[in-house]
Structure 1
Amino acid sequence: MKRWIGFLGHLAIIIIFTSFGTYSFKTDMDVKVPNELKVLSTYSATVPVFNDIEIGVSNGSPVMLGNSYIGFKEALAFKESQGNYNTINTLGYLGKYQFGSGTLRLMGVSDTSFFLSDANLQEKVFELNVARNKWILRRDIKRFIGKKINGIVISESGIIAAAHLAGAGNVKKYLRSYGQTDFSDAYGSSIAYYMKKFRDYNISIVKAKHNPKV
C-alpha cells in the first residue's frame, strides 16, 4: 500500500509539471524584423518649447508649436493657407505663404507654375523675404521693439509678420503713426492683428539682407 501511495504521488507531480510545460513560452525565439522597421542609423530630435499658439491640422487634432523661427513660419503659413503649398486664393496669391507675383519677381521668381510645384523654392523665398523685410524695417525694428501700440507690445516677429501681410511700407506707416494708420487686406486681417498674433517669436536666425534673390 505504501509503495502504491508513493507511486501515485510521483505520478501526480509528473502530470502537474507536464501540464504547465505545455503553456510555457520560449524566450529566446529568433524573430525576423522587416528591413523597413530596422533602425539603420541614429539621429537626434529636438522638442520645441511650447507656447500659446495652437495650430490645427487636417484631421482636426491641434499641434502645439514652439516660439522658434520654425514655429513662426509654420504658424504664419497656417494662417495664410493652412500650410498648403499648392493653393491659389481668390486674389491670385500663391502657395503655402501666399505670395503675390510682384513679390516673387523681386525674389527672382518669374515662373509661378514652377513656384507652386516646388516646396523647397517656396521655403527659400519665404526666408529671403523675411531677410528682405528685416533690412527694409531695420531702423523701425530697433526703434519700436518693446514699445506698446494699441495695447500690443511690439516685437520683431510681429513686425515681420505684419510686413508679410501688408508690405514693409505700410508697416512703417503703422509704426510711425503709432497705430493711427492701419491696413487691412481683403479678408479683414490687419497690421494690428498680425502684430498681436505673431508676437514673441525668436526669428533672429534669419539675418537682414539687402535685395536678396533666389
Structure 2
Amino acid sequence: MKYLSFILIGFITLTSFKTLSVKTDKNITTPTAYFAKNINIPFLLKDFVGFKEALAFKESQGKYRVVNKLGYLGKYQFGKETLKRFRIYNTTYFLKTPELQEKAFIAYCKVNKWILRKDIKRSVGKTINGTKITESGILAAAHLSGAGNVKKYLRSNGTLKFNDAFGTSIKSYMKKFAGYDTSNVSANKNPRI
C-alpha cells in the first residue's frame, strides 16, 4: 500500500484529476485493507497537465531533485545544453526550484512545437511503424531525442530510428504519449522563462 501511495502522489495535480472510488470486501480485518476500503484513486486526464505529469513520471518518477547517471537533471531530465537555451546555467538552483523546472518544460514544449510545426501538420493522423502519430506523441519524442531526430524519423516514414542511451525509442514515446491534448501549447521560436 505504501508503494501505491508513493506512485499516486507523483501523479496528483491540483488542476487535472478526477477520482475513482474503489469498493472492497466488507469483511476487512487488516488496518491497511480498512484504509483502502473507501479510498479515492486519482488518475490523470488526457490534457496538457496529464501529459506533462505522465512524461515526468516516465523520466524521473516525478522527482525534482533527480540527476541520472548521464547527468540529466530534474523532474523532466533536462540536459545542461538544453537548459542553456533558456539561459539556465546554475544547475544546483535549477534542481532546487520546481517552478523553474515547470517553466523550462513548458518553454521546451513551445520551442519543439515551433521547430516541428510543419511535421506536426503533415504527420498527425498517419500511422508509422504501427503507431498512430499524434501531436503529443511528437512532443514527447522531441523531449526524448530532440526535435531534429523526430524530424528525421517522421520524414523518413520511420526508417531512420533513434534510441537514447537507455534504449528508449522515438516510436515508444510516440506510442506511450499519444492522444493527449497539447493544443494549448503555442509554438514559439524564442520562449522566455
1:64 aligned counterpart, secondary structure: strand
Contact 2:145/2:170 (<8 A) preserved: yes
2:139 corresponds in structure 1 to 160
**Superposition RMSD in Å:** 2.0
- Specify whether residues 90 and 207 from structure 1 end up closer, same or farther in structure 2 by C-alpha distance, changes over 3 A only: same
Unpaired stretches in structure 2, ≥5 consecutive residues? 1-13, 21-39
1:74 alignment partner, one of 53, 56, 61: 53
1:84 alignment partner, one of 63, 79, 88: 63
Question: Number of residues paired by the alignment?
Answer: 161
Identity %: 56
- Specify whether residues 122 and 46 from structure 1 end up closer, same or farther in structure 2 by C-alpha distance, changes over 3 A only: closer
- Specify whether residues 63 and 47 from structure 1 end up closer, same or farther in structure 2 by C-alpha distance, changes over 3 A only: closer
**Structure 1 outlier segments of 4+, above 6 Å:** none
TM-score normalised over the length of structure 1: 0.72
1:180 alignment partner, one of 147, 159, 168: 159
Structure (1 or 2) with the larger CA radius of gyration: 1
Instruction: Tell me by how many angstroms 1:213 deviates.
Output: 2.7
Q: Deviations over 1:74-103 (max 9, x none)?
A: 000000000000000000000000000000
Q: Does 1:137 align with 2:93?
A: no
1:151 alignment partner, one of 130, 137, 151: 130
1:95 aligned counterpart, secondary structure: coil
Unpaired stretches in structure 1, ≥5 consecutive residues? 1-43, 51-60
Contact 1:132/1:211 (<8 A) preserved: yes
TM-score normalised over the length of structure 2: 0.79
- Specify whether residues 64 and 170 from structure 1 end up closer, same or farther in structure 2 by C-alpha distance, changes over 3 A only: same
